[in-house]
Amino acid sequence: MAEEQSETRHAIVITGFADDSCKPGAAQIIARISRGAPVEKIIKRLDSLPWTLTRSASPSAAARLSKLLERSGARVEVAPPLPEIAAEAPPPKIPESKGPGTLEERQPVPEVVEIAPTTPEAPPSPPREPEPDFRPIPSREEQPLEPLTTPTRRYEGVAELSFPDQSALSIEPLTLGGILDRTFHLCRRHFWPLLGIVAIPWLAVIAIVVVVVAVVGIYGVTHESLGETATWTAIIVAALAIPSALVAIIGLFFISTGAVIHAVSLAHLGRTVRIRAAYNFVFQRLGRYFLTSMLFSATVFLMAAAALVLGVGFYMLSNLLTSSGWWSAVTWPFLLFVPLYGFTKLVLFDKVVIIEDVAYGQALRRSWRLLSGKAESSWPRNYFVRLVILLNLFFFINIAISLLFSTPAALLAALFPESPAMVGKVISQILEQAGSVVAGLFGSVCLVVFYYDIRNRKEGFDLKMLAGIEKSATLGDREADQSG
Amino acid sequence: MREKLQTVVIETPEHYELQFRLAGIGTRFVAYLIDKAVQLLLLFVLVTAAITTYFALGRVFPRVPVPEDLIKLLGRWLLAAAILMYGLATGGYFILFEYLWSGSTPGKRLQGIRVIRKDGRPITFVDTAIRNILRFVDILAEVYPIGLVVMFLDSRNRRLGDLTAGTLVVMDEAVNAPSAPDQAVAGPEDIPEVRYAVNSMTPNDYRIVVRFLARREGLEQEHRADLARKLCLRLLAKSDAALPVGSDPELFLERIAASYQERTRVL
């Protein structure tokens, strides 16, 4: 009884025969246990071995069936080996992983044995007949990437929960909810490295503010005393330092955006995220990234300008044709849509530059092309609409995150009304900034996941990765080498 | 490429193991927004019905001699009914749907998720009542700030209501029946290259081929053709064979998949 309750199920594979005369006998046995399958068909099937008879035999049934078949002259493999067989048989060979893209086994049979060579028909004009390392397959292609049964720890007594480690996520086409799930999953898994990448520019800003406050405090500069204490040297230093600091901060924010994209890309593909490596990677592509960003800004600006010119044109036309030029206001929502549409269609350009190393006009065109067309078997089908809905969903999540950070400040202000107003303001500012950092991080992660989802759907990127067809172009040669 | 999928395995007292995939935070959030939309629609219908009734009665009563006390009483009952309906549409919505629909609400059903007890059993009325009363703490200003943080910190994506009621939200995935015994038939391996490819094929190769065949309609033409060709070359490279001249790579992959499936057919 205990055995029948065992979770282990065995696959029984006929791999060959001692000689061909054994086949009818084995076919008879199979016909008997399969309740009515014609013996002739079974004999015909036995000509192209190996043949997996079942994958769900209980240990006792597997033992009986294999014994029966072996007695008829068949060579039988049982996977996983039965306890008594396992003692005699050599340890099963697990198929080796074929590169980084391959999947782990997810078939019902927990372990797969390499089947002994069979005797296939001789090919008429043979290239080398390959080593038949034929292995059983999962019985449910509908969910081939989901574990069907998982060996888990057994618990005594009361039912409890466990978290098996063997199951995994794969980068497959996702629903909108799935994209958000993946976003939260990645953020949770790599929260501190990702937060570190995003927080570096903010830390720089804080450092500069602290320096300025210290200088002001040490020299006792006020806006009244500024004119008296200022010297030409101080003015020149300030004139150089302030713009330099501004450029440095903007540049740092810019680099951090790129670093987040690269880090999330690595995390999404199952690689390790490191703050320094992410920044180093972006430095390699900084020039192209910067120029493409400029091109993006210029394109969106031109679109806005074109909309503005059109709006003025409509106003003048309306002035000529109607009593008031303000009738042209009906066209404004449509005109406003033009730059918004352009901005949204090009929004993936930074992912294209950082992840694919495609820059300038090509990056913008690629972003536009990625967001064109329709997704199969998913709602909404249009990629552009998907992005718009996703951004709206994220808008709600942003509100939640902002509320989360602003509520403690409000509570503190309510609980300590006597505290100086400055303290409350500073705390509230800090918390608001922290909220926007976290919300920004989630937004960046979400867009990278969305970008990969489009590539999976339109280009079969996940399949290319799994098949080992594509890797270095995405991860960057150095990263690909590092990750082995 | 591979990461841990959030799953829970629950062992029943009979030592059967039930495996569930936990619903993610994003999916739950989308489900909540859908439910919110349905709730708003219900409220709109209720308010419209109440206003219509109010005006209709206002037109009827002056023409019909009804005692004033009765009108007041009727007014109070109508108000009570309106409050009750409002309560049902807001607070009761989740409780009733989850209790009557085995842990689902319209939003959850659309997203393919449902609530279960942590021992795998269906939730009871008390469970759903507790988790939904605590929803008022979780949702704060209707955007789930507290719920979001608690779910983010909890490894099983549970919000306060779930933690208190001892419930989990899981993906409501269809369970496929084991494949039925097939009759043994000869494989379609009349092309030698197909046989060579199948002989050297691993389960992973098979999965990739099946995935490609299932999703090829959604792929861009250029990538579809390229991927099909590269998959064929990859499979044939193992046996030093080449794709037959003039053959369609997709058709070749179809044959390979069919042949592989045929060979591993369960009796």
Q: Which residues of A touch B265 (CB under 8 A)?
A: 51-52
**What average pLDDT does the segment A243-257 reach?**
87
User: A51-57 and A10-17: which strand pairing?
Assistant: antiparallel
Cross-chain Cβ contact B10/A458 below 8 Å: no
Q: Which residue has the tokens 């950082």?
A: A354
A382 touches chain B (CB under 8 A): no
Cross-chain Cβ contact B148/A41 below 8 Å: no
Residue A395: what residue type?
F
Please give, one letter per residue, the 3-state secondary structure of A20-84.
HHHHHHHHHHHHHHCCCCCHHHHHHHCCCCCEEEEEEECHHHHHHHHHHHHHCCEEEEEECCCHH
Q: What pLDDT does B165 receive? A: 92
Residue A122: what residue type?
A
Is the separation of the CB atoms in B17 and A161 below 8 Å? Answer: no
Q: What is the average pLDDT score of chain B?
A: 81
Cross-chain Cβ contact A404/B149 below 8 Å: yes
Residue A65: what residue type?
L
A223 touches chain B (CB under 8 A): no
Of A134, A135, A178, the CB nearest to B27: A178
Q: Which residue has the tokens 């120029």?
A: A291
Residues 442-461 of A with CB under 8 A from B: 457-460
CA distance B132 to chain A (A): 19
Residues 273-292 of A with CB under 8 A from B: none
Checking if the pLDDT of A396 tops 80, the result is: yes
Q: How far apart are CA B50 and CA B44, in angstroms?
A: 10
Q: What pLDDT does A244 receive? A: 86
A93 confidence band (pLDDT: 50, 70, 90)? very low
Residue B142: what residue type?
E
Q: What pLDDT does A321 receive? A: 85
Cross-chain Cβ contact B185/A41 below 8 Å: yes
Q: What pLDDT does A310 receive? A: 92
Q: What pLDDT does B100 receive? A: 92
Cross-chain Cβ contact B239/A130 below 8 Å: yes
Q: How far apart are CA B222 and CA B204, in angstroms?
A: 24
Residues B34-67 have pLDDT tens digits of 998 999 998 898 888 888 887 887 777 677 777 7
Share of chain A above pLDDT 90, in %: 25
Q: How far apart are CA B165 and CA A318, in angstroms?
A: 64
B25: closest chain A residue by CA: A181
Least confident of A16-30, A228-242, A259-273: A228-242
Task: Give me the helix-helix angle, B192-199 and B221-237, nearest 10°.
Answer: 80
Cross-chain Cβ contact B267/A103 below 8 Å: no
A272 touches chain B (CB under 8 A): no
CA distance A422 to chain B (A): 27
Q: What pLDDT does A340 receive? A: 94
Q: How far apart are CA A456 and CA A175, in angstroms?
A: 12
A463: closest chain B residue by CA: B208
Q: What pLDDT does A354 receive? A: 93
Residues 164-193 of A with CB under 8 A from B: 164-165, 167-171, 173, 175-185, 187-189
Q: How far apart are CA A246 and CA A104, in angstroms?
A: 49
CA distance A210 to chain B (A): 31
Checking if the pLDDT of B210 tops 50, the result is: yes
Hey, where are the domains in chain B? 7-171, 192-263
Checking if the pLDDT of A168 tops 60, the result is: no
Is the separation of the CB atoms in B252 and B233 below 8 Å? Answer: no
CA distance A68 to chain B (A): 16
Q: How far apart are CA A309 and CA A327, in angstroms?
A: 16
Q: What pLDDT does A279 receive? A: 92
Identify the CA nearest to A238 among candidates A262, A255, A221: A221
Least confident of A45-49, A440-444, B154-158: A45-49
Is the separation of the CB atoms in A263 and A351 below 8 Å? Answer: no
Checking if the pLDDT of A18 tops 70, the result is: yes
CA distance B258 to chain A (A): 12
Q: What pLDDT does A223 receive? A: 63
CA B135, B139, B144, B149 torsion-angle sign: negative
Q: How far apart are CA B243 and CA A433, in angstroms?
A: 59
Of A161, A270, A403, the CB nearest to B145: A403
B205: closest chain A residue by CA: A467
Checking if the pLDDT of A437 tops 50, the result is: yes
B5 confidence band (pLDDT: 50, 70, 90)? low
Residue A289: what residue type?
Y
CA distance A203 to chain B (A): 24
B119: closest chain A residue by CA: A159
Q: Which residue has the higher pLDDT, B140 or A176?
A: A176
Alpha helices in A347-420 (DSSP H): 349-351, 360-370, 383-415
B259: closest chain A residue by CA: A48
Q: Which residue has the higher pLDDT, A437 or A61?
A: A437
Q: Which of A8-12, A152-156, B118-122 has the highest mean pLDDT?
A: B118-122
Q: Which residues of A touch B17 (CB under 8 A)?
A: 7, 149, 152
Of A34, A104, A176, the CB nearest to B30: A176
- Alpha-carbon torsion angle A73, A79, A80, A81, nearest 10: 10
Q: What pLDDT does A28 receive? A: 80
Q: How far apart are CA A79 and CA B26, in angstroms?
A: 39
Q: How far apart are CA B93 and CA B106, in angstroms?
A: 10
Strand partners, B116: B122, B168
Checking if the pLDDT of A305 tops 90, the result is: yes
Q: What pLDDT does A409 receive? A: 76
Is the separation of the CB atoms in A155 and A83 below 8 Å? Answer: no
Strand partners, B9: A162, B19
Q: Return the structure tokens found at B108.
A: 């959850």
Domains of chain A: residue spans and CATH: 8-116+127-148 (3.30.1390.10), 176-482 (no CATH)
Q: What is the DSSP letter of A374?
A: B
Q: What pLDDT does A337 receive? A: 92
Residues 133-152 of A with CB under 8 A from B: 133-147, 149-150, 152
Ramachandran category for residue A39: left, alpha or beta (phi over 0 → left; psi -120 to 50 → alpha): alpha
A224 touches chain B (CB under 8 A): no
Q: How far apart are CA A160 and CA B119, in angstroms?
A: 6
Cross-chain Cβ contact B24/A184 below 8 Å: yes
Q: Measure the N-to-C terminal CA separation of chain A; round to a whole number of Å.
A: 48
A139: closest chain B residue by CA: B179
Q: Which residue has the tokens 């330092």?
A: A241
| 3-state secondary structure (DSSP) of residue B26 | helix
Query: What is the b/e burial string over A271-280, where b = at least 16 CB atoms within 10 angstroms of the residue's CB?
Result: bebbbebbbe
**ipTM reported for the complex, 2 dp:** 0.82
- Under 8 Å CB pairs connecting chains A and B tally to 295
Q: How far apart are CA B166 and CA A176, in angstroms?
A: 28
Q: Which of A291-300, B147-156, B210-219 has the highest mean pLDDT?
A: A291-300
Q: What pLDDT does A291 receive? A: 94
